[in-house]
Structure 1
Amino acid sequence: MKKLMYSSILYTILGMLSGLFYREMSKAENFSGYSQLNVTHTHLLVLGTIMFLIFLVIENQLKLTKHHTLFNYFFYVYHVGILVTVAMQFVNGIAVMKGFSVSPAIAGISGLGHITISIAFILFFVLLNKSINANAHQNKS
């Protein structure tokens, strides 16, 4: 359960720092347009902070970590997905602010991050189903 709480704290810090970075970078570059840096703050806070708080509440009710191996697969795959996606947003956003051309490979890698998050959600729903079934079985006994 603490892993979920610490993850939420980590993404809160990263989300706040990314917002600060965006603000300072846009000031330094005198940039007022749109770049992917605009949304890194939101992605980190929603996919990181809020989702890990939701996972924490569900863990408290259903004991997801009882299915240790599946939980760990979900947990680490989800982290990788978020971090790859946000890293590519940073690369894309900085390149746009600096006036560099952006390679389509960046969008492709970001897409892989989104696919990884999707795989993590599939793992989460499998984990959720196992936990609900285990609780139902336990309540019948």
Structure 2
Amino acid sequence: MMKSFYAAATWLTLGLAAGVFYREFTKLTGNLGVESELSLMHTHILALGMMMFLIVLALDAVLTLHTRRSFTVFFWVYNAGLAVTIVMMLIRGLLTLDGKSPADTSAAIPGIAGLGHILLTVGLIALFMAIREGLGERQERLAARQSRLQSTREATVSEG
């Protein structure tokens, strides 16, 4: 569970730093108000990083997701995909502020960004697999508990 907490805290720090970087960099270069991928990084990191891992932390507390292999796959693949995606946003944003249009830059940039999105998707699929397993086990535990309660009630009624 602590991995999710530390991931959320790390993405929070990076998201806030991205906001400060965008504001200060655009002021320094005279591009204040210019739309670029840099202006989107702050919210993308906070939403896809910090908020995602806070939600996962809550789910983990209920479903013990961290004990599953699919959760480990989710954690590392999703983080890698988000890092790749954010780095590509940074590169594209810096190039845009430098006056280069997306058509003038290398096709590798959207290609690598696409790989980041693919990794995010694979990570999310693994997360859903972990959630499904956790829900199944939780249902089994609740059914067993219900059965024990029913047996205890029946034993109490037959004794009384």
1:73 deviates by 0.7
Q: How does 1:1-141 map to 2 (within 5 A)?
A: 1-31=1-31, 32-67=33-68, 69-100=69-100, 101-141=104-144
**TM-score normalised according to structure 1 size:** 0.95
What's the CA shift string for 1:49-97, capped at 9, x where partnerless? 1010000000011111121x22111100010010000000000001111
Cα distance in 1, alignment partners of residues 24 and 94 from structure 2: 12
* TM-score, L = length of structure 2: 0.84
Higher mean C-alpha deviation, range 105-114 or range 80-89: 105-114
SS in 2 for 1:16: helix
Residue 33 of structure 1: CA displacement? 1.8
CA distance in 2, matches of 1:23, 1:102: 24
Q: Distance in 2 between matches of 1:65 and 1:14?
A: 24
Shift of 1:34: 1.1
SS at match of 2:34: coil
Question: Which residue in 1 is equivalent to 2:147?
Answer: none
> What are the Cα deviations for residues 107-135 of structure 1, in whole angstroms up to 9, with x where unaligned?
11111111111111111111110010011
Deviations along 1:21-53, one digit per CA (max 9) or x if unpaired, are: 111111111113211101110110000110100
Q: Cα offset for 1:104?
A: 2.2
- Partners in 1 of 2:26 and 2:105 — Cα distance? 18
RMSD: 1.0
In structure 1, how many angstroms separate the alpha carbons of the residues matched to 2:37 and 2:107?
A: 14
What amino acid does structure 2 have at the position aligned with 1:75?
A: F
Identify which range, 103-112 or 127-136, moves more after superposition.
103-112
Identity of aligned residues (%): 35
* Structure 1: segments with no counterpart, 5+ residues: none
Q: In 1, Cα distance between the equivalents of 2:45 and 2:6?
A: 14
Paired positions, count = 140
